[in-house]
Structure 1
Amino acid sequence: MIFNGPDHHRNYQYRPPLIRPKEKGTDWPLYLRFIRQYAWPYRWSLIICMILVAINSNYVYVISYLSRLVVDNILVISSSEAVDEQGARRSITAPDRDLEGPPSRPVVGMGKKIDMGVTTSVRPPEAGRKLLLLAICYMLTQCCFNTIGRLAARRHIVVAQGIMGRLREDMHRKVMELSMSYHQAMSPGRLLSRILSDVESVQLEMMALMISGTHCCSMILTGTAILLFVEWRMAIVAALVMPLYAWMYHTKRPRIRALNQELRHTNACLYGLVSQKIDAMKAIQAYAREPGEELAFHRLVACFFRDALKVQWISSTLSCKAGILAHLCNCTIFLYGGKMVLDGDMTLGRLIFVQSATVTLFQPVLEFSHLSFVLQRLRISLLRVAGVLDREVEITDDPNAVELPRPIRHGIEVRNLAFTYPAAKLSREVDESSAEPPIPPEPVLRDVSFSVPAGTWLCIMGASGCGKTTLLHMLSRLYVPQKGEILIDGIDLQKINLLSLRKAVGVVPQEAQIFSGSMKENISYGFPDASNEQIMNAAKAAQMHDFILEMKTQYETLIGQKGASLSGGQRQRLSLARALLTDPELLILDDCTSALDANTERKIQETLAQILVGKTAIMVSQRVSMAMRCHKILVLEDGLVKEYGTHRELLQKHGFYSKLFSQQTE
């Protein structure tokens, strides 16, 4: 049922249906593009490798030719009965005996004649010496081809690793350039499958296609030349089989392509599932969901297993059919050659040489059927890699971009800002699309306008989901608004050089991003050249210095991935210290004190009030104590500005802020 039955069920949890791309003609432009971009820089090493492979592939023909010399020129076997008394050559179709005369078959066998001392062959003089010379030649040939194979393998490794390294660097660079919209929609596991699994597949299949293709072409050309030179009619028999190979592959090509697409898609889903579950390990264990997660993983593995079995079944079936054709052709050539030997038109050594060349000729023909699978796997992997490399970068520098003015003299102005996330956050790649129609998006921000004078603080408040974090992301240019504009000192944010903007703006996200490394390396991530004194001053401002000194190795203490060894409040303070170290012109804080106790939060507020004198700050907070320290307060509700003003002004409006103030000060 797995091999010949109907297509199996693949619609499992964590595996969205595969939507295949529309056929766009030939795929050769895609192959040539990647060969030109990634293989061409290593062209000389690749050419040398292919030449060495082509030479090494003819090893069997050389050994077969040496065997022919041994049989025909040294071990000369010729029967005294080969020629009759009149010197006439007997045909294979001649009658075995004359019914009226004496029997034509020898009464005494050849073995008996040898025992009786009858000479059955006429060897050339010094046959033993010639045999020794051929044995030495055989050994030298073995050493020569072995050396060529090792040199080819060395070049192969250099080219293969170079291609994979360059491709992974380009993939990593592209992923770093893509916007937050892409990263929110694409899970880390699926990105890993692109950068690691798909790139490795491209390298393996591309090298297999070029090297194995060279090997097969060299063997086929040499074998065909040998057959044409020795006996052209045998070459015609071998050529008649080739169209059957092409027909068998053509009938299975669509099925092979479809299964390979399913395999790569399932592989990406496995990466995504594993990455997601590792991040959620605490919840899985807390709710005892291990059996359920094991079942989900088993279903995806079983889906991958069934598709892989089908691919192997098709491959083995084609190989068996091709093998049968090869054996029939070999048998035909052997019978025809045997007839020529019996007729005296061909020597025994020549027949052995031709038969060996024929068998060797069909080996690369069989390999070509496997190269068809390689080509299909390469196509699928290239399409997935190209899906990332060709993704349009949403946030780029304007051709006439200018540097961000430092210091900010006039302030920040937001005019009629509107933003809506794309349907399903992103038009996903082809193999990750959903068959269901996208849900119509809801506006996140609608006609938002406000201003922040230079050197002042603005606190943004509101209920969850009202667009506070999205607004901060747009101020730091992580998203592009569909409508409206953001001005810094009268300059449109889209006209400011992206690098200068990122260097001048310090962002402290709500979920602190902690990297594997030491405390010092994490704090100085945005300013790697900071001195130890600068790092300690930033830690003191974030109320981390005393805590770090209590550690065994202090600032050199290694922390786990994502700050696993730190509490939520400690991670937030580390993130704040990282931003303060860069001495930003604009500080953006996204509820970065939500995990702190009241005493630590108060100390951080007092420190910020000292070090941010003359600096512009925009922060999201639900703490009235933080809002009271800000010059202006903005309240968002359903993407609209509902309240805007000072602490006293908002208390008099008896709105959201007034109620929140009453709740937190009771």
Structure 2
Amino acid sequence: MKELKYLNKYFKKYWLKLLLGVIITIIARIFSLVMPSYVKKSIEVIEDFSADQLLEQEARGLLLEYILIILATALLSGLFTFLMRQTIINVSRYIEYDLKNEVFDHYQYLNLNFYKKNRTGDLMNRISEDINQVRLYAGPAIMYGMNALTLFACLIPLMFIKAPTIALYTIAPFPILSFLIYNISKIIHKRSTKVQEFLSRLSTFTQESFSGVAVIKAYGLEPKIHDDVETLASEGKSKSVDLAKVDAWFFPLMILLIGVSNIFVIYIGGKQYMNGEIDSIGIIAEFILYVNMLTWPVAIVGWLTSIVQRAEASQKRINEFLKEEPEIRNEVDESTPIEGKIEFRNVSFTYEDTEITALKNLSFTVHPGETVAILGKTGSGKSTVLELIARLYDVSGGEILIDDVPIKNLNLFSLREAIGTVPQDAFLFSDSISNNIKFGKNNATDEEVVTVAKNAVVHENIIGFSKQYDTVLGERGITLSGGQKQRVSIARALLKDPRIYLFDDCLSAVDTETEEEILNNLKQASQNRTTLIVSHRVSSAKNADKILVLEDGQLIQQGTHEELNAIEGYYKELYLNQLSEKEN
């Protein structure tokens, strides 16, 4: 249970509720122990009446008294059992809530490399299915475990006090039970881990299939995907059945051993009664009730073992990610204001997952309020420049300065708060269009939303929908076209009104006329704001204050449109090619 030690901090947090639950559990079990002794007394009353030692009226009075006591203690035991569930089970829900938040927060702080190495389905499974398994340990397992422990602690000594010989035979099967549980639980642990790992694979496959359903349909791959799912499901069935086969041994073994205990009670007790070693047959009835009271706690041992083993396997998977340290750390606690000057000094960067060197000794300076365009072939490092400015990655070599301060010496949240970014692959949430735009500024008014939508030239498209700005988008914004998604993403950045704009080829899916209109609006909206525009089109770059041309991560040209067009090179060639295409 070493992995489950991670939960100790939550148990300490809710120790008062847990302690109250333990006290209530003990009280509930003490009341439940009253009933068997009064059943014994009731039988003794009947025996005494049969032997003419009690009058009928006296016997009836005693029976009524004992029955009322049995009913009262049963009701009180039930009431405290209810309170026990309300305390301990509630604690498990609090722990589930805290753990899910902790895992989700940790996910958010991990760097992009983490998400390149791990699949979304696996991440989702660990925060849902795995945490649910842990919750069963933190609540029901503790509650039933404490219940069983209390019964054993109170009942077994009581049994030895009342009839040592019968008690000894009654608990004789328990060591055998312990041995079986120990061996079976090891098998359960291994098979539980395999089941949880499989569930992550299945979640990943189905999530990717649903996200890529358009591609699947376009290529007519539904039969193949169905076969793949069937193969996965068959594998999962096999693993789950293997686990169920082991689980299936528990309850039959428990019931068998409890049955053996009952036989011992009847046989040994009956023999002692006939030999005069016990003075009342009521003791046999009392012990049968004791054994049956132990049936559930003994049977639950198997279930508890299974739950603990599953929780151990799940918590181990959760801990694997919680132990992941974010590479991008906020080194400065106090906020740091951002004006917008950006300087790259011999910056080099290599992606960890692919080991591709995207930038090589890159140097340039962007002054506050300047608009700089970055052009180059695919894979030249354009997008990497923007990712480094937002500090989604840290440089492999060299240094980036913002307002003449090394980027690592800035408050990370202040830096990102000062940046409005529009990625090439615009991501929209399954929410209303209005809320997607407000993602950049939650407290924005409807008028502000409409204004930025007009600047992004997407307003006319939005009001064409039946619900206009209240239109709820499909997952990843599938309701909109590629160009519409890009323009909604631009509106989102404009609404934020940051100090630095980062546009990553965000006009690739719009026509040239719409592009020209958006660029003119952006020029007005981004006045006195530092703006970097990554593009494949000269039309997006020609009005910039400065143009940087990259090739294989190195700066090969820089200057204004007029300066670069006046000399032979990549920029002039690109301009003439695109001009020719436009004329044709």
Q: Offset at 1:372?
A: 1.5
C-alpha contact (below 8 Å) 2:347/2:362 kept by paired residues: yes
Q: Which residue of 2 aligns with 1:276?
A: 208
Return the alpha-carbon distance in structure 1 between the equivalents of residues 470 and 303 of structure 2: 54
C-alpha contact (below 8 Å) 2:169/2:261 kept by paired residues: yes
Return the alpha-carbon distance in structure 2 between the equivalents of residues 42 and 190 of structure 1: 30
3-state SS, counterpart of residue 559 of structure 1: coil
Residue deviations 1:144-172, cap 9 Å, x none? 22222222233244323222222222222
Q: 1:376 aligns with which of 305, 309, 319?
A: 309
Q: Which residue of 1 aligns with 2:39?
A: 67
C-alpha spacing 1:398/1:133, structure 2 compared with 1 (3 Å):
same
Q: Offset at 1:306?
A: 1.6
Q: 2:511 aligns with which of 597, 606, 613?
A: 597
Residue deviations 1:566-602, cap 9 Å, x none? 2211111111111112222211000000111111101
Q: 1:570 aligns with which of 484, 488, 500?
A: 484
Q: Which residue of 2 aligns with 1:35?
A: 8
Structure 2 letter corresponding to 1:417: V
Q: Which residue of 1 aligns with 2:287?
A: 354
Deviates more, 1:552-561 or 1:481-490: 552-561
Q: 1:421 aligns with which of 341, 351, 355?
A: 351
Return the alpha-carbon distance in structure 1 between the equivalents of residues 178 and 81 of structure 2: 30
**1:313-332 map, 5 Å:** 313-332=245-264
The two structures have a TM-score, normalised by structure 2, of 0.92
C-alpha contact (below 8 Å) 2:28/2:76 kept by paired residues: no
Q: Which residue of 2 aligns with 1:56?
A: 28
Q: Which residue of 2 aligns with 1:193?
A: 125
Structure 1 letter corresponding to 2:62: K
Return the alpha-carbon distance in structure 1 between the equivalents of residues 242 and 206 of structure 2: 25
Return the alpha-carbon distance in structure 2 between the equivalents of residues 444 and 515 of structure 1: 30
C-alpha spacing 1:311/1:517, structure 2 compared with 1 (3 Å):
closer
C-alpha contact (below 8 Å) 1:506/1:584 kept by paired residues: yes
**1:496-535 map, 5 Å:** 496-535=410-449
C-alpha spacing 1:366/1:51, structure 2 compared with 1 (3 Å):
same
Return the alpha-carbon distance in structure 1 between the equivalents of residues 83 and 117 of structure 2: 46
3-state SS, counterpart of residue 549 of structure 2: strand
C-alpha contact (below 8 Å) 2:103/2:127 kept by paired residues: yes
Q: 1:606 aligns with which of 520, 545, 550?
A: 520
Structure 1 letter corresponding to 2:18: L
C-alpha spacing 1:311/1:62, structure 2 compared with 1 (3 Å):
farther
Q: Which residue of 1 aligns with 2:67?
A: 135
C-alpha contact (below 8 Å) 1:401/1:495 kept by paired residues: no
Return the alpha-carbon distance in structure 2 between the equivalents of residues 374 and 209 of structure 1: 7
Q: Offset at 1:386?
A: 2.0
**Structure with larger RCO (C-alpha < 8 A, sep 6+):** 1
Q: 1:311 aligns with which of 240, 243, 252?
A: 243
Q: Which residue of 1 aligns with 2:459?
A: 545
Q: Offset at 1:283?
A: 1.1
C-alpha contact (below 8 Å) 2:344/2:365 kept by paired residues: yes
Q: Which residue of 2 aligns with 1:13?
A: none
Q: Which residue of 2 aligns with 1:663?
A: 577
Structure 2 unmatched runs, 5+: none
C-alpha spacing 1:74/1:325, structure 2 compared with 1 (3 Å):
closer
Q: Offset at 1:400?
A: 6.9
1:388 aligns with 2:321: yes
Return the alpha-carbon distance in structure 2 between the equivalents of residues 57 and 285 of structure 1: 61
C-alpha spacing 1:590/1:423, structure 2 compared with 1 (3 Å):
closer
Return the alpha-carbon distance in structure 1 between the equivalents of residues 84 and 178 of structure 2: 30
Residue deviations 1:19-72, cap 9 Å, x none? xxxxxxxx34x43431332x3333333222233333334566433222211111
Return the alpha-carbon distance in structure 2 between the equivalents of residues 657 and 247 of structure 1: 78
Return the alpha-carbon distance in structure 1 between the equivalents of residues 8 and 376 of structure 2: 54
3-state SS, counterpart of residue 517 of structure 1: coil
3-state SS, counterpart of residue 449 of structure 1: strand
3-state SS, counterpart of residue 370 of structure 1: helix
Q: Offset at 1:348?
A: 0.4
1:254 aligns with 2:186: yes
Return the alpha-carbon distance in structure 1 between the equivalents of residues 455 and 168 of structure 2: 87
What's the % identity of the aligned pairs? Answer: 28
3-state SS, counterpart of residue 248 of structure 2: helix
> What is the number of residues matched between the two proteins?
578
Higher helix share: 2
Q: Offset at 1:318?
A: 4.2
Q: Offset at 1:216?
A: 0.9
Q: Which residue of 1 aligns with 2:83?
A: 151
**1:452-491 map, 5 Å:** 452-491=366-405
Return the alpha-carbon distance in structure 2 between the equivalents of residues 466 and 246 of structure 1: 65
Return the alpha-carbon distance in structure 1 between the equivalents of residues 237 and 27 of structure 2: 39
Return the alpha-carbon distance in structure 2 between the equivalents of residues 296 and 380 of structure 1: 27
C-alpha contact (below 8 Å) 1:458/1:618 kept by paired residues: yes
Return the alpha-carbon distance in structure 2 between the equivalents of residues 371 and 557 of structure 1: 49
Q: Offset at 1:553?
A: 4.5
Return the alpha-carbon distance in structure 1 between the equivalents of residues 537 and 6 of structure 2: 56
Deviates more, 1:620-629 or 1:652-661: 652-661
Q: Which residue of 2 aligns with 1:443?
A: 357
Return the alpha-carbon distance in structure 1 between the equivalents of residues 470 and 262 of structure 2: 72
Structure 1 letter corresponding to 2:17: S
Deviates more, 1:504-513 or 1:120-129: 120-129
Q: 1:412 aligns with which of 335, 342, 351?
A: 342
Structure 2 letter corresponding to 1:364: P
Q: 1:364 aligns with which of 289, 293, 297?
A: 297
Q: Offset at 1:312?
A: 1.9
Q: Offset at 1:652?
A: 5.2
C-alpha spacing 1:258/1:129, structure 2 compared with 1 (3 Å):
same
Residue deviations 1:540-561, cap 9 Å, x none? 2211233334444543444333
Q: Which residue of 2 aligns with 1:44?
A: 16
Q: 2:145 aligns with which of 209, 213, 222?
A: 213
Return the alpha-carbon distance in structure 1 between the equivalents of residues 42 and 333 of structure 2: 80
Structure 2 letter corresponding to 1:419: F
3-state SS, counterpart of residue 232 of structure 2: helix
C-alpha contact (below 8 Å) 1:227/1:235 kept by paired residues: yes
Q: 1:225 aligns with which of 157, 180, 200?
A: 157
C-alpha spacing 1:235/1:528, structure 2 compared with 1 (3 Å):
same
Structure 1 unmatched runs, 5+: 1-26, 79-119, 425-440
Q: 2:407 aligns with which of 474, 487, 493?
A: 493
